[in-house]
Amino acid sequence: MITVSLCMIVKNEEKVLERCLDTIADLVEEIIIVDTGSTDATKKLARRYTEKVYDFQWVDDFSAARNFAFSKAQMEYIYSADADEVLSEENRKRFQQLKETLLPEIEIVQMKYGNQLRYGTVYNFDEEYRPKLFKSKRSFVWESPIHEVVRLEPLVYDSDIVITHLPGESHAKRDLALFERYCGTGARLSKRLFDLYARELMIAGDGEDFAKALPYFIAAAADPGRDSQEVAQACCVAAKAARLSGEVITFFKYTTKGLAGEECSEICCELGHFYEEHQDYDEAVIWYYNAVYETQPLLNILAGGREGLEGLVRCYEALGCPDQVRDYREQLEQKGNCHEQLEQKGDHREHLG
């Protein structure tokens, strides 16, 4: 049976830490908790479960904190958990069975991360596979009987363990502030982080967040090093930011640029909102319709469903068209149920690279 070190980074988690540890503490051989600056009783609670509680000065870098925690691990495998996660009794049994049966060549175990839509910030689905259990020391192996090479890709196993995410509040403001500071250093976001920044803005950002992000995404839309998808994402953010701040010329610059590239539901919804705000309901209807039925969402699945349909209902109410209002309300309910099923059944995976 394998041995496991539980590694966690925490800050002001006194409300949820005990709930998390009660579901996992007896399944691991070692618990390592790294505190990044708590001002509540988090460290006191942590010491009920382990003596290995460390302080780490926060440097606006989650990877740095997690690397520090991993460096303290002594067991064969490392289980990475957040304080707002829990394991149900059924999944505790699956975890124990995994420990007893895991093949030694497996280097990463993915587990399903569930209940993500409770405080949706970057996700359009409720469940995805995430790497959660890591072999602490990797053995390099030669492969192929001829022209042999060292295997570089890790051996990954997708388990049936489901981790329930139970956040107490949205972390969008925290995440967006980190993105803003990171971009402010002149750093270039990778394609993955660029997607996540744009997605989190479109799903959970407010006017202040968009105003701060606008210069970065305007620059990205003109960056020849960004691919067509990234340019389209930048146009979505820039268009929404401009609409929220009332910058009409900038708004039309990036909606037209978006339509000339990869047409998407988000740009159509932004045009719908613009014309609705200016009480041109006939024009708004055209764009909300296109958002739902003629294009696909790029960042926020609701733009191609609930958001567009709700816009159609509002506009037809303003136009005094009860039949259309009834029809689109019915479609809103049907499409909402369809999206819910897709979100729950989606087999989404976290990129390992």
Is there a contact between 157 and 110 (Cβ–Cβ < 8 Å)? Answer: yes
Beta strand extents in the chain (DSSP E only)? 4-10, 30-35, 53-55, 77-80, 85-86, 108-114, 127-135, 142-143, 149-150, 156-165, 348-349
Is there a contact between 35 and 53 (Cβ–Cβ < 8 Å)? Answer: yes
Q: Give the model's pLDDT for residue 352.
A: 41
Tokens of 247: 């910058």
Q: Give the model's pLDDT for residue 142.
A: 77
The pTM (predicted TM-score) of the whole model is 0.75
Q: In this predicted structure, which of 100-109, 122-131, 182-191, 235-244 has the lowest mean pLDDT?
A: 122-131
Q: At what angle do helices 89-101 and 17-24 cross, to 10 degrees?
A: 50
CATH numbers and ranges of domains, the chain: 4-170 (3.90.550.10), 172-343 (1.25.40.10)
- Stretch 331-351: mean pLDDT: 54
Write the burial class of residue 9 (CB in 10 Å: 0-12 exposed, 13-18 middle, 19+ buried).
Answer: buried
CB-side neighbour CA atoms (13 Å) of 155: 12
Q: In this predicted structure, which of 112-116, 220-224, 344-348 has the lowest mean pLDDT?
A: 344-348
Mapped onto helix, strand or coil, the DSSP state of residue 235 is helix
Chain centroid to CA 76: how far? Answer: 29
CB atoms inside a 10 Å sphere around CB 180: 14
| CA angle (271, 272, 275) in 5-degree steps | 85
Place of tokens 């990036």: 254
Q: Over the chain, what is the mean pLDDT?
A: 90
What's the rounded Cα separation, in Å, for the pair 177 and 212? Answer: 9
Tokens of 158: 């997708």
Q: In this predicted structure, which of 162-171, 210-219, 275-284 has the lowest mean pLDDT?
A: 162-171
Confidence check: pLDDT of 121 > 80 = no
Name the phi and psi angles at 226, rounded to 5: -90, 140
* CA torsion angle 170 176 177 180 (round to 10): 180
What's the rounded Cα separation, in Å, for the pair 326 and 148? Answer: 66
Q: Give the model's pLDDT for residue 123.
A: 55
What's the rounded Cα separation, in Å, for the pair 274 and 266? Answer: 12
Q: Which residues contact 283 (CB under 8 A, 6 or more apart)?
A: 275
User: For 52-62, what is each residue's pLDDT tens digit?
Assistant: 999 999 998 99
User: For 73-97, what is each residue's pLDDT tens digit?
Assistant: 999 999 999 999 999 999 999 999 9
Tokens of 350: 């976290």
Is there a contact between 241 and 217 (Cβ–Cβ < 8 Å)? Answer: yes
Q: Give the model's pLDDT for residue 353.
A: 36
User: Model confidence at 72, in pLDDT bands (50, 70, 90)?
Assistant: very high
